Amino acid sequence: MENLGLLWESTGLANFTIGQASMIGVGLLLLYLAIRKGFEPLLLIPIGFGAVLSNIPVAEISGEGGILYYLYYGIKTGVFPLLIFMGVGALTDFGPMLANPRTLFLGGAAQFGIFGTLLGAIALNFIPGLDFNLKDAAAIAIIGGADGPTSIYVASRLSPELLGAIAVASYSYMALVPLIQPPIIRLLTTEKERQIEMPQMRAVSQREKIVFPLLLILLAALLLPSAAPLIGMFALGNLMRECGVVERLSRTTQNELINIVTIFLGLSVGSKLNAASFLRLETLGILVLGAIAFALGTATGILMAKLMNRLGKVPINPLLGAAGVSAVPMAARVANKVGLESNPHNFLLMHAMGPNVAGVIGSAVAAGILLALVH
């Protein structure tokens, strides 16, 4: 009888807590959204499964000695987000941005959501039960850039205990771009503005595409060294893509490497979705602030495009401003879709990729500024 009692106490059923059951439910919800709804499946599937694994009682899969415990070192050291950034660089074509350098302003303006949310996170401290210090606020604010790897990198540096909530919020809002952005776009633009057709882009030479990542990393090293790790890996991936002499390395970075790291990154993030660190009032605050940050970034990108139309002679479709957030390529696709609804001949996808990739650079620069000021 005693042996049966010991056997029962060693089972998961005997050790389940309400918190663990709730977090397993969250993991299953993420899996449902990824599989059934198609929301960021490449990352939400490993994150959701990691959440389920890390909340199995007794197993200690995310505890010291468990596989998720060791995988998390890839986030703790910053290796996984940086390798993801290198893969993103290898997948990125800077041609549309170089063909129309004005789109850099749109990518920059869309980062206002980051700094606006920094103030919002500090203001939330007036609510009883919430206590975000400056490092927490900076880590939460980066969600406004709609860039998952950057959010994870900054959170791992400034506020590791909030990493799970920040990662889930960041990737959730990236997946919800097609739902969040269109109402904001329609609110801030007129039908006439959405019908503006963009002129044919000029051809960008291979030399320009090779020089740009080199110039990018040199500027980062000289002006903002704290952003050099993110921008450097991004520039390396892009240089391998554009130089034309390391196609094998470029293909590996675009496919096998980024896929393997995505699995490990997702499982590592999921390991932090445990009941003790996730089921708190702060998590709700992070989710709310993340939504505000993303909406602010979308709005300021659009308003910058409208301002450029007031000051410049060559009109620019304000929809391109919404693509200034670095959710690549979802934000560009949304801009193109809304543009086609107003004008069936208005193909904005390639034009929108300019501010979209500019937003990736902008979010990395914003992350560097936050790390330099706060860390």
227 vs 113: CA distance, rounded Å: 18
Quick: pLDDT tens for 171-216: 777 777 888 899 999 999 999 999 998 888 889 999 999 999 999 9
Residue 231 covered by a domain: yes
Cβ atoms within 10 Å of 254's Cβ, excluding its own: 20
Q: Exposed/middle/buried for 278, CB within 10 Å: 0-12, 13-18, 19+?
A: buried
Give the number of domains in the chain. Answer: 1
Q: Is residue 197 part of a domain?
A: yes
pLDDT at 16 over 80: no
Closest CA to 68 of 50, 42, 56, 84: 50
pLDDT band at 2 (very low <50, low <70, confident <90, very high): low
pLDDT average, residue stretch 88-95: 93
For residue 320, is pLDDT > 90? Answer: yes
- The pLDDT of residue 71 is above 80: yes
Cβ–Cβ under 8 Å, residues 230 and 79: no
The answer to whether residue 27 is domain-embedded is: no
Structural domain for 225, as ranges: 66-374
pLDDT band at 19, cuts 50/70/90? confident
Confidence class for position 6, pLDDT limits 50, 70, 90? low
| Pick from 57-61, 204-208, 236-240: least confident | 57-61
Answer whether residue 374 shows pLDDT above 90: no
Residue 351 parent element (H or E): helix 349-374
CB neighbours of 301 closer than 8 A, spacing ≥ 6?
106, 107, 109, 110, 321, 322, 323, 324, 325, 355, 359
Is residue 24 assigned to a domain? Answer: no
Is the CB of residue 279 less than 8 Å from the CB of residue 22?
Answer: yes
Supply the pTM of this predicted model: 0.87
Q: Is residue 42 part of a domain?
A: no
For the chain, give the mean pLDDT.
Answer: 87
User: Which runs of E-coded beta strand occur in the chain?
Assistant: none
In a domain, 341, yes or no: yes
29 lies in a domain?
no
In a domain, 266, yes or no: yes
